[in-house]
A and B are shown apart, each in its own frame.
Chain A
Amino acid sequence: MSERAMSPAINYRLQRHLKTGLLYGITGLVLIIIAFPAYWLVTTSVKVGADQATYPPVIIPTRFTLESYEAVFQTAGVPRAFLNSTIIALATTALTTFFGSLAAYALAKTYLSFALRRAIMLWILITRIFPPITTAIPYYVLIKRLHLGDTYIAVILTYVAYGLPFVIWLMLGFFQDLPADIEKAAIVDGCSMWQRFRRVVLPLALPGLAVTAIFAFIYSWNELLYASMLTSFNAKTVPVVVAGFISDQYLRWGEMSALGTLMIIPVLIFSSLAQRYLVRGLTFGAVKG
């Protein structure tokens, strides 16, 4: 009798432990999959040459060196590339978030029929639907004809055009979620549309703005295709330099990894700065008790 009464309880406990174990197992696996490339990048940058690309691979290196970093710093144009990348990424981020949020605000606050709104939103997205490579050649020709080859403007214009749809889509949701009464209060308080946007709406949409800014920064920081096509020396960005370590004669894994590792640092700094605005529930306290 007691055995029969006990066994379901034990079964249940066992099941629960198994479930918890499984959950941790899967979480761990996913974490490893996500973190492994970063681990591989950083470790490869400090591996000695023989350990960099060998079979079987050296997963946990035992010999360390900073030779790859020395080589990177001796490579011509690296500091310039970092400066270029920083200027281009910051300008792109500022312009896309600014114009993107203006466009999103206009879309969020304009009375449009459902079908028209959908059509506009799809149209905005359409530039992101086809792969960038499909427009690469006409784009290259266009930039050449405008005599903008190898300039910041060429790269920034391209990135802004590609970044805007994303910013508009993301910010639209944030603007639509803002309590309508707050804006009405601002209207009655005498704000013009611009004052309303700048003094009331934008501060409340800061978390959204921070997210979009991080994404815009990462996108423009890492972009390779257009950067390699539109720049050669003056506006050359870091990813293009990284790609330069690949040639038909050699594959410099160490230098690529070292520069790749260095590339992560500005992104981390920017993200952590922007993250301060990712305060959840900023609008809490505006409405209701």
Chain B
Amino acid sequence: MAEIRFEHVTKRFGNHVAVNDLNLTVHDRELLTLVGPSGCGKSTTLSMLAGLEDPSSGLITIDGRVVNDVPPGARDIAMVFQSYALYPHMTVRQNIGFGLEVRGVPKREIERRVMEAATILGIQDLLDRRPKELSGGQRQRVALGRALTREPKAFLLDEPLSNLDAQLRMQMRAELKLLFARVQGTVVYVTHDQAEAMTLSDRIAVMNQGVLQQVGTPLEVYNRPKNVFVARFLGSPSMNFIPCEVCRDGGDTYLEGPGLRYSLKGELRALAETAPDRRVILGIRPEDLKVVPKDEHAGLRCQIVLIESMGSQQFIYAQAGNGRIIVTTEPDFQATVGEDIQLALDDRKLHLFDRATEQNLLFMAAGSSVA
């Protein structure tokens, strides 16, 4: 297994910069997820690692060896495609063993490794079928099997679950996690699904418009998002953002925004005061807001406009000034549309972003780096 490094990697297609000065290290035996909206450069990054695209500049190393000029077949990586890309004219057995056959592995060894992968994936009974006779989930397993038998230095997975239905996707997500814990491989996993990224990864790398935004463990990235983009992208429903001013009244410092006047103390106050022009964006996750009796002063006043019951929880959409707020509540929380409510904030769960740069003030004060 191997460590993978991207050093100042840039990829241009004509005038379009798909990946911009990427610096990223994937540690040995780590599952790193590249996540971001479509067109953010994550798949291009994976293609460059696989050797299917050449970087315009920069270096890519696998296990300390620069692979920029190494053809894909010689990089010792295996890839699982979103479309599975199984060979339709071959049986499952031939599909799984094909990579080994091309490499001249002896027949008996191929058979052994195919059986081993098939047993791990539970597809021993399907070995003599062709891809068109398989369901989506089974094809997915065959595609994984094809990667597993190769025993490569790294596994590259390009949105492997996005063609499956919601239920199967959750099931496969859990299976993938168990599988990669078992084979202990270095895995680079590309997805646009933040839930997959959060649940599967050892670390997440969030990308947007070709630029790496933040790298960290799922909880680091979720709890300390580096900027508004990362904060908005991770978490469902998305984080609430309220444009605010940092105001002073005598000795008191508070945040003032639509439906909000919130007194700041301690660390948060110190942080708010670092905002360059006192104009900030307050970020609060829906689950960090709590509905409290109306007579309490602190917090956010708003009016309920819509209630969505999800069974296990409830999403309340509320209007605060001209902004929209989403709150997650217990499923049995009683509320009616049109009702005024008061939401309590928790100092430890608030995120402050500079309004001009949309950077988290925490990182701006520290003089940030991505990783």
Q: Is B72 located at the chain interface by the 8 A CB criterion? A: yes
Q: Is B133 located at the chain interface by the 8 A CB criterion? A: yes
Q: Is B321 located at the chain interface by the 8 A CB criterion? A: no
Interface string of A178-213 (1 = CB under 8 A from B): 010110111111111001000110011000000000
B84 neighbours in A (Cβ, 8 Å):
181, 286-288
A283 neighbours in B (Cβ, 8 Å):
88
Q: A160: shortest Cβ distance to chain B, in Å?
A: 28
- Cross-chain contact A181 with B88 (CB below 8 angstroms): no
- Known contacts: A188-B77, A188-B78, A288-B163. The answer to whether A181 contacts B85 by CB under 8 A is yes
- Known contacts: A285-B134, A287-B83, A289-B136. The answer to whether A189 contacts B89 by CB under 8 A is no
- Cross-chain contact B88 with A284 (CB below 8 angstroms): yes
- Cross-chain contact B130 with A285 (CB below 8 angstroms): yes
A76, B166: Cα distance in complex, Å? 75
- Cross-chain contact B81 with A181 (CB below 8 angstroms): yes
A204, B132: Cα distance in complex, Å? 13
A191, B100: Cα distance in complex, Å? 10
Chain A residue with the shortest CB-CB distance to B131 = A285
B72 neighbours in A (Cβ, 8 Å):
187-188, 190
Interface residues of B in 145-165 (CB under 8 A from A): 146, 150, 163-164
Q: Is B74 located at the chain interface by the 8 A CB criterion? A: yes
A181, B79: Cα distance in complex, Å? 11
- Cross-chain contact A286 with B85 (CB below 8 angstroms): yes
Chain B residues touching A, range: 20 to 34
A173, B3: Cα distance in complex, Å? 42
Q: Is B284 located at the chain interface by the 8 A CB criterion? A: no
B86 neighbours in A (Cβ, 8 Å):
182, 185, 285-287
B99 neighbours in A (Cβ, 8 Å):
188-190
Q: Is A112 located at the chain interface by the 8 A CB criterion? A: no
A289, B163: Cα distance in complex, Å? 7
A191, B89: Cα distance in complex, Å? 16
B164 neighbours in A (Cβ, 8 Å):
289
Instruction: Give which listed residue, B50, B52, B132, B163, contacts A285 with CB less than 8 A.
Output: B132
Q: Is A106 located at the chain interface by the 8 A CB criterion? A: no
Interface residues of A in 201-259 (CB under 8 A from B): 203-204
- Cross-chain contact B74 with A182 (CB below 8 angstroms): no
B150 neighbours in A (Cβ, 8 Å):
189
A282, B133: Cα distance in complex, Å? 12
Q: Is B182 located at the chain interface by the 8 A CB criterion? A: no
Chain A residue with the shortest CB-CB distance to B73 = A190
Q: Is B102 located at the chain interface by the 8 A CB criterion? A: yes
Q: Is B108 located at the chain interface by the 8 A CB criterion? A: no
Chain A residue with the shortest CB-CB distance to B150 = A189
A286, B89: Cα distance in complex, Å? 9
A189, B82: Cα distance in complex, Å? 16
B139 neighbours in A (Cβ, 8 Å):
285, 289
- Cross-chain contact A287 with B85 (CB below 8 angstroms): yes
- Cross-chain contact B83 with A181 (CB below 8 angstroms): yes
A43, B83: Cα distance in complex, Å? 55
- Cross-chain contact B79 with A188 (CB below 8 angstroms): yes
B189 neighbours in A (Cβ, 8 Å):
none
- Known contacts: A179-B83, A184-B85, A185-B81. The answer to whether A190 contacts B130 by CB under 8 A is no
Instruction: Give which listed residue, B79, B82, B89, B102, contacts A282 with CB less than 8 A.
Output: B89
- Cross-chain contact A204 with B88 (CB below 8 angstroms): yes
Interface residues of A in 148-197 (CB under 8 A from B): 179, 181-182, 184-192, 195
B262 neighbours in A (Cβ, 8 Å):
none
Interface residues of B in 30-77 (CB under 8 A from A): 50-52, 72-74, 77
Q: A271: shortest Cβ distance to chain B, in Å?
A: 22
Interface residues of B in 87-140 (CB under 8 A from A): 87-89, 98-99, 102-103, 130-136, 139
Chain B residue with the shortest CB-CB distance to A285 = B132
Q: A278: shortest Cβ distance to chain B, in Å?
A: 15
A137, B83: Cα distance in complex, Å? 55
B51 neighbours in A (Cβ, 8 Å):
187-188
Instruction: Give which listed residue, A187, A284, A288, contacts B73 with CB less than 8 A.
Output: A187
- Cross-chain contact B87 with A200 (CB below 8 angstroms): yes
B88 neighbours in A (Cβ, 8 Å):
182, 204, 282-286
Chain B residue with the shortest CB-CB distance to A282 = B88
Chain A residue with the shortest CB-CB distance to B164 = A289
- Known contacts: A203-B89, A285-B86, A286-B86. The answer to whether A184 contacts B102 by CB under 8 A is no
- Known contacts: A181-B83, A286-B85, A287-B85. The answer to whether A188 contacts B163 by CB under 8 A is no
Q: A83: shortest Cβ distance to chain B, in Å?
A: 35
A182 neighbours in B (Cβ, 8 Å):
85-88
A227, B139: Cα distance in complex, Å? 52
Chain B residue with the shortest CB-CB distance to A284 = B132
Q: B167: shortest Cβ distance to chain A, in Å?
A: 13
Instruction: Give which listed residue, B77, B82, B102, B136, contacts A191 with CB less than 8 A.
Output: B102
A186, B88: Cα distance in complex, Å? 12
In this complex, which of A185, A191, A284, A288 has the most chain B Cβ atoms within 10 angstroms of its Cβ?
A185
Instruction: Give which listed residue, A187, A190, A200, A288, contacts B52 with CB less than 8 A.
Output: A187
- Known contacts: A189-B98, A190-B73, A204-B88. The answer to whether A286 contacts B81 by CB under 8 A is no
- Cross-chain contact A184 with B81 (CB below 8 angstroms): yes
Q: A2: shortest Cβ distance to chain B, in Å?
A: 53
Nearest 7 interchain pairs by C-beta: A285-B132, A289-B136, A190-B73, A287-B83, A181-B85, A189-B99, A185-B85
A-side interface residues toward B, CB under 8 Å?
A: 179, 181-182, 184-192, 195, 199-200, 203-204, 282-289
- Contacts A189-B102, A286-B84, A287-B85 given; 5 further ones with Cβ under 8 A? A188-B78, A190-B99, A286-B131, A287-B84, A289-B136
